[in-house]
Amino acid sequence: MIGTFVNVLAVLAGSTVGILFRGKFPEKIQETVIQGISLAVILIGMQMALSIEKSPDVLLVIFSLVIGAVIGELLSIESNLNKFGEQLKQKFKAKDDLFVQGFVQASLIYCVGAMAIMGAIQDGLNGDPSILFTKSLLDGITSIAFAASTGIGVAFSVIPIFIYQGGISLTAAKIESYLTQDMIRIMTASGGLLIIAIGLNMLGVARIKAGNLLPALLVAVFLAALVF
C-alpha cells in the first residue's frame, strides 16, 4: 500500500501549499484561476469519457449513468458526503465556507478514474506503486490549486483516498481476477462523465449531483460483464 500512502502525503503537501497561498491574490485572479482549473478538470473527464471504442460502449455508459443515478438518489450519496464534510468541519472547527465543497469535489476527482483502480491493484498485487506514484504527482499539483481556491477541505479528501485505494490494494488478488479490459473501459468512460459534471459544477454553469452518479461505476462493471 506504499502507493496509497505516497498519494495521501502528496495531497496533504499540496493542500498545505495551496492553503498558504490562499487569499494572497486579488479576487479577480482567484476567480480566473478557478475557471482555469475547472476547464482542466473537464479536459481530464473528456479524455476518460472518450476511451469508448466499440459500438455497444455508448449504450452501456448511458444505461450505467441512468441506473446509477437512480441508485445514487435512493441512497442519497451526495447528501451523505456533504453531511460527512459538515461533520469534519465541525469536529476540526474549520471556519472555511468552502470546506465541504473542497472536500467533496476533491474526493470525487481523486477517487474516480482508472489510475486509482489499476494503480491500487498493481500496488497490492505486484508491489509495484509506479501508477500511483504518477497519480500522486498529479494529485499533489492539483491539490495546490484546489486548496488555494476552496481551502482546507481538500486536505480531508485523503480519508476517502486512503479507504478506497487502500481497500482495493488489500483485495487486489480477488478484484484483478474478475476485472477485464472491457469493464475498465466502460467504467473509465462513465467516470469521465462524472468528472466533467464536477468541472461544470465548479464553473457554476450547472448543478449536477455527481456524488449520486457514483454507483454508475459499479453498474458499468456489471453491464460490461453481461455484454462482453
Residue 176 has pLDDT above 90, yes or no: no
- What is the percentage of the chain residues whose pLDDT exceeds 70? 100
* Mean pLDDT value across residues 46-75: 92
pTM above 0.85, yes or no: yes
Surface-to-core class of residue 161, CB atoms within 10 Å of its CB (0-12 exposed, 13-18 middle, 19+ buried): buried
pLDDT for residue 149:
86
Residue 173 has pLDDT above 80, yes or no: no
* Mean pLDDT value across residues 39-67: 90
Residue 22 has pLDDT above 90, yes or no: no
